[in-house]
Structure formats: C-alpha cells, structure tokens
Structure 1
C-alpha cells in the first residue's frame, strides 16, 4: 500500500516537470503543438512497452468498453496542449497552481458521487475544510 502512495507522489512530482520541460521544448522549437506531439509519441512508446511487458489481454476488451471512457485521452491532450502553450506565458507555478485547484474540485465531485466507478467519499464538513485548507495553502505558497 505504501508503494502505491509513493508512486502517486512521484506522479505528482512529474506533473510540473512535464509542464516545464514540454513548455521549454515548445519554446525551443517554436511550436507548442509539435512539442505536445513529441510528448505523446514518447508516452505512447513507454505505455506500449509497459503493456507488452505486463500483458496485452486488455486490448481484446477495448471493443466492449463504454465509449465515453475513451474521453480520458481528450483530457490528457487538453492538459498537455494547454500547459505547453500557457505555462510559458503565466509561469509554470501559476499554471500548476490552477491545475491543482481544478484537480481538487473535480476529484471532490468524482469522489462525492462515486462517478465512473470511483469509491464514494461524501464531501462532508471535514473533507470540505481540508480542501479549503489546501486551497489556502496553495494560494499562500503561490503569493509568497
């Protein structure tokens, strides 16, 4: 269980690194869209290799999967394209700050209603207070 938490912590570290690196690549080559395309090619190769190593039986079940679940790819593309274009204009810190605010709001709604098969975790006063403290902490960290 602790390993899962560590992996997610490391994934969180990777998000601003992704934003900074891809924004820098976009600036360097003069095309945020081309930089995003390169990112997706690299990510595709890594995901494909991982699937080949861990087992490809999931690919056979894709045809029966609910089609709305494929929208996740649209959200990844929107995130990568938007952060690649906007982070150089407003700063990586500001971009990630806004991303984190959006993630917290979205996660609270998904958990509260158990959307997409997520475990239901009602938004009670304690959780709402925790989220408010996180927003306050993010805001203070960004203004400091």
Structure 2
C-alpha cells in the first residue's frame, strides 16, 4: 500500500481511537474512583505497547540520541499527560461526545496556527480564505452538534 493511501487510513483509525479511548479510560477512572490512577494505567499500557513495537522493529535510532535534544521538545509529554488526565476526568460528567468535540475544536484551531506559521518545524501552510472557510465550517459543525 502506498504512503499516500496508507497515511490517511492510519490517521482515520487514530481519530476513531480517540473517542473509544476517552470512553474506555473514563469508565476505568469511574470504576477505580480515580481518574489519575486510570490515566497512569493508560500511560503504562501505552509505554509498554510502544516498547514492544520498538523491540519488534528493532532500534533504528540509539536511545542516547535523546540526550542531544532540546529540552522544550519533551513538553509534548506534559501535553499528552494533560490530555489523558483531562479526558479521563471530564468525559464521565461532561459526556464523551462533548469532550471529544471540544478537543477537536482545539485541534482545528491549534493545527491552523501551527501550519500557518510553520511552528515547531511543521510545514508552512498558509491559512487561505478557502482553508479558513473550511475550518469555520468544521467549527460550525461542532457547534451544531453541541446544540442538539
């Protein structure tokens, strides 16, 4: 399968996984009585899965390369933890759909800014009128979903 076909399929599956993850982890947090413990369990399972993935594919890059990276790049881990904790804590009382829709709105906004300015080494894709209209349509759709 070519990358041009594979990449969108993988990202679609990742998108499908976000609300499933939110519902499962929120339920685990509610059953445990601790969203923080559920988030920790999620992180351990995720780490273990990535460790197995790396072990199976073989180390293509030595771990020592981590020592030579700018410290600010590791902030992504803090954002990941924030996402896990917030979705696990808020989804049970706010609704998985509501929580995920607001996450999507945040993603639309931040992705547009990141692409427009080429932040963090991303490809620079200026927000044209057509692109802005598409983003507004997506945000408007999220707003309509919230009203029903």
TM-score (norm 2): 0.93
Q: 1:84 aligned to 2:84?
A: no
Residue number among 34, 39, 56 corresponding to 2:37 in the alignment: 34
Residue number among 103, 117, 120 corresponding to 1:116 in the alignment: 120
After the TM superposition, which segments of 4 or more aligned residues of structure 1 sit over 4 Å from their partners? none
Give deviations 1:28-79, integer Å, cap 9, x for gaps.
1111011001000100000111112223224221111111110110000000
Distance 2:71 2:44 in 1: 23
Structure 1 unaligned residues grouped into runs of 5+: none
The Cα of 1:136 is off from its aligned counterpart by 1.1
Equivalent residue runs for 1:35-50 within 5 Å = 35-50=38-53
TM-score (norm 1): 0.96
Q: Which moved more, 1:57-66 or 1:17-26?
A: 57-66
Paired residue for 1:62? 66
Q: 1:5 aligned to 2:44?
A: no
Q: Alpha carbon RMSD of aligned pairs, Å? A: 1.0
Paired residue for 1:129? 133
Distance 2:62 2:134 in 1: 37
The total of aligned residue pairs comes to 144
